[in-house]
């Protein structure tokens, strides 16, 4: 499968979710979707990013957008992470890296002097018709959720005009 490009339809995908079922993109059309990839549950940057999206969640909802987080962690780890920080959105487990490959977010990183494969913090905004509307790669956590919210607001303004 090719990595989606801006303006292109995102191929349907599915993954196990903390909602207790399987998340399917095709069942989410009709609402914009913020899909954010993060390296690991309960690490400082990932926790802060989740908290920032959590704190702005009501604003995203007012604009009709859903938020979903994705990492390679297990559903059990996701459940603990979600409950501990009160995330009101789903987390998807991508243990087989299918979503990571689809969105091309796996990179070689240096960790304690060793090369390891890991998720490059990235966010994708999928519009209500299932097309890729915006993407952010090599994300810095500070201010990122606000930037994504502005993009969702811009998308909402375009569709209501």
b or e along 134-148 (b: 16 or more beta carbons within 10 Å of the residue's beta carbon)? Answer: bbbeebebeebbeeb
Residue 46 designated active-site: yes
Under 8 Å between Cβ of 93 and 16: yes
Helix axis angle, 75-85 to 44-62, nearest 10°: 70
C-alpha to C-alpha distance for 50 and 54, rounded to whole angstroms: 6
C-alpha to C-alpha distance for 57 and 80, rounded to whole angstroms: 19
C-alpha to C-alpha distance for 98 and 126, rounded to whole angstroms: 18
- Among 10, 25, 33, 46, the one annotated catalytic: 46
C-alpha to C-alpha distance for 160 and 21, rounded to whole angstroms: 32
Instruction: Give the number of other Cβ atoms within 10 Å of residue 76's Cβ.
Output: 11
Catalytic annotation, residues: 46
């Amino acid at each position: 499968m090719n990595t989606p490009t801006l303006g292109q339809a995102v191929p349907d995908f599915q993954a196990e979710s903390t909602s207790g079922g399987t998340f399917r993109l095709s069942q989410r059309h009709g609402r914009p979707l913020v899909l954010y990839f993060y390296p690991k549950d309960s690490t400082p940057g990932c926790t802060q990013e989740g908290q920032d999206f959590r704190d702005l969640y009501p604003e995203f909802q007012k604009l009709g957008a859903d938020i979903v987080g994705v990492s390679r962690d297990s559903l059990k780890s996701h459940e603990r992470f979600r409950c501990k920080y009160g995330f009101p959105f789903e987390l998807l487990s991508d243990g087989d890296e299918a979503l990571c490959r689809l969105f091309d977010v796996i990179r070689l990183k240096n960790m304690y002097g060793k090369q390891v494969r890991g998720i490059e913090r990235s966010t994708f905004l999928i519009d209500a018709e299932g097309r890729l509307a915006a993407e952010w790669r090599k994300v810095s956590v500070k201010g990122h959720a606000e930037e994504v919210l502005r993009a969702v607001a811009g998308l909402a303004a375009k569709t209501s005009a």
